[in-house]
Amino acid sequence: MPRPATMRNIHAWLLLLPAMAFIVAFTHVPAVNTFIHSFMLDGKGGAPATFVGLEHYMYLFEDEVFRKALVNNLLFASGTIPLSIGLAMLMAFLVNAGLAGQSVLRLCYFVPTVLPMIAVANIWLFFFTPEYGLLEQVRGALGFSGINWLGNESTALPCVIAVAVWKDAGFFMIFYLAALQQISPSLGEAAMLEGASRLYFYRRVVIPLLMPTTLFVLVNATINAFRMVDHLFVLTQGGPNNASSLLLYYIYEVSFKYWDTGYGAALTMVLLAFLGLASIGQFGFFERKVHYR
């Protein structure tokens, strides 16, 4: 009969195996295959793929659309991340400020989170539509001339950023609300005894204590900035002239519209590199969580 320790090992592996098989099959294997296929050119009509070395990666440097999508994605990230985190923090403070109707406020802020992005993008599309869209009606009433918000290269990306911030801020607010509840009430009492102002208390006590939450939200916001492309399908299709295209959207176009999956794999490697950077932050965060316990 096997030793009890061996039995426990076998039990643990049996419990783990089903989940592990799925995770490896749909995360690790495809990640490795992406790497392999990024050096291959798909054969036409069922012919075997041929090795092309670094050709796809060299093409990245020539590809204007890739450069645009990459720059756009960095702009998208540097717009959505600080705006959605800042607004999320503000919303949490406002909901927590003892104002009348705070549950209604919380509901309003949070509602975009439960709605499908593809559905709300349809509503936003109408806001941005030239001539009879809501935004233009307001501007028209104020005597401004018409702007085609989504059809203009300089305004398309900001519009896409605005929709993303609107969708995410309320979601991140929830994490701040949860963290605010964890802050000991005695800190606030002590601050009041000392005669500290509310602003001072926020600046010197609350915001520093929220740092772990901010870090957690930051990593999530970063991952989202490279993952959220649903609204592009409705609002701009990456246009005009790729002015609002993002990396994952371009990967979709290259792989599933032009069926150049080899180049799509090379593009995916670039995306994975960015997510890898975010993941270094994430792992650092988990380490710290473990130390706190």
Partner 1 sequence: MKQTNIYDSRGLARALDTTAAWTLAIMWALPLLYAIWTAFHPSAYSTRFTLNAPLTLENFVTAWHAAPFALYFVNTVLLVTMVLAAQLVLCTLAAYAFAKYDFRGKNIMFALVLMQLMIMPDVLVVENYRTMASIGVLDSTLAIGLPYMASAFGIFLLRQTFKSIPKELDEAAAVEGASTLQILWKVYVPLGKPVYLAYALVSISYHWNNFLWPLIVTNTTNSRPLTVGLQVFSSTEQGVDWAIITAATLMTSGPLLVAFLLFQRQFVQSFMRAGIK
Q: Residue 158, interface with partner 1 (CB under 8 A)?
A: no
Instruction: Please say which residue, 156 or 254, places its beta carbon nearer to partner 1.
Output: 254
Beta bridge partners of 50: 41
Instruction: Please say which residue, 75 or 180, places its beta carbon nearer to partner 1.
Output: 180
CB of 208 to partner 1, least distance (A): 15
Q: Among 79, 150, 218, 230, which residue sits at the site for partner 1 (rule: CB under 8 A)? A: 230
Cβ proximity of 117 and 167 under 8 Å:
yes
Q: Among 67, 284, 286, 288, which residue sits at the site for partner 1 (rule: CB under 8 A)? A: 286
Helices (H), the chain: 4-23, 29-37, 55-62, 64-95, 102-114, 117-128, 134-141, 156-182, 185-193, 198-201, 207-209, 211-225, 230-235, 247-256, 261-292
Q: Residue 152, interface with partner 1 (CB under 8 A)?
A: no
CB of 98 to partner 1, least distance (A): 4
Stretch that binds partner 1, among 4-12, 43-51, 54-62, 78-86 (CB under 8 A): 4-12
CB of 62 to partner 1, least distance (A): 21
Structure tokens of 259? 């069926």
The CA-CA-CA angle for residues 246, 29, 36, to 5°, reads 70
Stretch that binds partner 1, among 6-14, 54-62, 75-83, 152-160 (CB under 8 A): 6-14
Q: Residue 207, interface with partner 1 (CB under 8 A)?
A: no
Please report, as residue ranges, which positions from 232 to 251 form the binding site for partner 1 (by CB under 8 A): 233-234, 248, 251
Q: Among 44, 45, 62, 132, which residue sits at the site for partner 1 (rule: CB under 8 A)? A: 132
Q: Residue 58, interface with partner 1 (CB under 8 A)?
A: no
CB of 41 to partner 1, least distance (A): 14
Instruction: Please say which residue, 34 or 80, places its beta carbon nearer to partner 1.
Output: 34
Instruction: Please say which residue, 59 or 110, places its beta carbon nearer to partner 1.
Output: 110
Q: How many whole angstroms from its chain centre is CA 226?
A: 6
Q: Residue 87, interface with partner 1 (CB under 8 A)?
A: yes
Q: Residue 110, interface with partner 1 (CB under 8 A)?
A: yes
Instruction: In whole angstroms, give the CA distance from residue 272 to residue 250.
Output: 14
Q: Which residues make Cβ contacts (< 8 Å) with residue 118, sequence separation at least 6?
A: 230, 231, 233, 234
Instruction: In whole angstroms, give the CA distance from residue 243 to residue 148.
Output: 14
CB of 174 to partner 1, least distance (A): 5
Beta bridge partners of 41: 50
Q: Residue 174, interface with partner 1 (CB under 8 A)?
A: yes
Which of 238-247 are b and which e, b meaning 16 or more Cβ less than 10 Å from the residue's Cβ? beeebbbbbb
